[in-house]
Amino acid sequence: MGEELKLTEEERKKFAEKYGHNPDDLSDEELQKCKVDLRIAGARKVRWTARELYDTYFPPLRWYIPGLLTTGLTLLWGSPKFGKSILALQWALSIASGGYVFGKLQCEKAGVVYLSLEDGPRRLQRRIKSLGIEPPDGVEFFTEWTRENAIDNLSKYLEAAPHIEIVFIDTLIRYKSIGDTNDYSQTSDLLIRLKEIADRREIAIVVIHHSKKLGKDESGDFIDSALGSRGLTGQPDHLTYLTKGKDGIDAVLHFKSKDAEPKELALKYDATIDNWALMGDVQEIQTSAARQEIYDLLAGAESVMTPKEIAKELDKNQNTVRVLLKRMVDDDVLAIVGRGNYTLKYHPTPVKPVNNVNNVNNQQHDKQETFTTFTKFTGSEGEGISEGGNNADSKRTEGERREADNNHDLEIF
C-alpha cells in the first residue's frame, strides 16, 4: 500500500465506526474512496455548538508546497505572458512527483489534474521536456473543457477520480463564461461554487487569472491588481500574485492567506529550462542589498554622513535608511559620531570629520591621513562614540575638555 494512502489514527477510528471492519483489508482504490468519504462526511457538518467546535479534532492543513499551497481555493494571477502558467505547471509536476518546487521546497506527493485551456499539447510537451525530468505519473492534463456546466463536470470528474487532490484551472476566463468580470455577484458566485468543491472534498483548487493593465492598481494593495471585481479576491482562501521585480529580482510572488502568514518571495527566471528559481525572501534580499549600498557609500565617503545625506545619495526613503542605520550600529558595523552622523565602525580608509562635529583644522586632518585605523571623533560634552557604555570624553576634567575643544581634538585608536 502506498504511504500516501495510510489512514491517520483519527481516520481509522472514524472508519471503524462507519464501515465496521479493518481498513488494511481494502485495496488502494477502495481505501482512497473511503478516505474521501470520511473527509466529505466531516466537512458536511454545518451546525455546531461552541463546545463542539472547541472539542472537535480538526487535522492540520495539508501543505502540498510548504507555506505556499494548501487545501482550499487559491487564486493565482499576474500579467499576461509573465510566466503564471509556467509557475503553475512547475507546481503541478513537483507535487505529482513529490519532488522539489523551485529546487528548494519539497512537495507532498498527491494526484493532480491540470486544465490547460490556454496552452495546447505541443506547448505543454515543450515545457515539460525543457525541465529535463521524467514526467510523473500522478498528473493528468485536459487541453479542452466544456464551458457549459463546467463546475458540475468538474465535480463529476472528481467523484470518479478520488485520488485527485489538486486541481489547476488555467485560466478562469477559458474555464467558465463570465458575463461581466466587473460584476461582483457574477464573479463571486463562480468562485463560491469552486470553493464549495474544495471545502467539501478537502482538496486544493488553484484558479489562474490575469491582472489589470499596468498602472490600474493605484491603491498600492496587490489585492486590487486582479482583473475584475473584488469578488474575485474576496472569495478564495489564499491569494497568490506574481508581479515584476526590480534590482536583480525578476519577479515577486506575493502570498496572502486566511490560514497562514503572508510571504513575499523573490524569483529568478531560468530561461535555459523555462522555469522559476527561488532567490529567497524579498525583504531579506532587499535589506541585505540596501545595507551593502550604505556600507559601500560610507566606505568611500570623505566624511561622516547624516541619514538625510545617505538617503539622498542612495535615492531611498529617509525613515527606511534610519532603521537600517540603527540595525547596522547594533550589529557593530557602523558607529555614531557626535549627534546623528554615521561612519563605518572599522573604516578601511581615513575619513574627514565634519564642521558640526568638531571643526578639525587642515593640519590635524593631514596628520590623520597618515593612519589607516578607525578614527574616533570627540567634541563637546556628551558627544563621541560610546565604548562599553562609557563616553571617553566623560573621563576628562572640565578643564581638559575645554582644552580639547579649543585644540579641535581628534583622537586615533
Structural contact between residues 178 and 186, judged by C-beta atoms closer than 8 angstroms: yes
C-alpha cell at 395: 573621563
Indicate the SS3 state at residue 250: coil
pLDDT in tens, the chain (413 residues): 333 445 566 666 666 666 656 666 666 666 666 666 655 555 567 788 898 888 877 778 899 999 999 999 999 999 888 899 999 999 999 999 999 998 889 999 999 999 999 999 999 999 999 888 888 999 999 999 998 899 999 999 999 999 999 999 998 989 987 777 777 788 888 899 999 999 988 899 999 998 887 544 444 678 888 888 888 888 899 999 999 888 778 999 999 999 999 999 999 998 888 889 898 888 888 778 888 888 888 888 888 899 999 999 888 888 989 988 988 888 888 889 888 889 987 765 555 555 544 443 443 444 343 333 333 333 333 333 333 344 444 444 444 444 444 443 333 22
Cα angle, residue 195 at apex, residues 193 and 199 outer, rounded to 5°: 120
- CA of residue 79 relative to chain centroid, distance: 18
Q: Is residue 340 within 8 Å of 306, Cβ to Cβ?
A: yes
CB 40 within 8 A of CB 200: yes
Per-residue confidence (pLDDT) for residue 339, from 0 to 100: 84
Burial class of residue 193, CB neighbours in 10 A (0-12, 13-18, 19+):
middle
Q: Do 357 and 383 touch, CB atoms closer than 8 A?
A: yes
Is pTM beyond 0.85? Reply is: no
Interacting residues of 152 by C-beta distance below 8 A, sequence separation 6+: none
Domain range annotation of the chain: 3-55, 63-281, 301-412
Fold of 63-281: Rossmann fold (3.40.50)
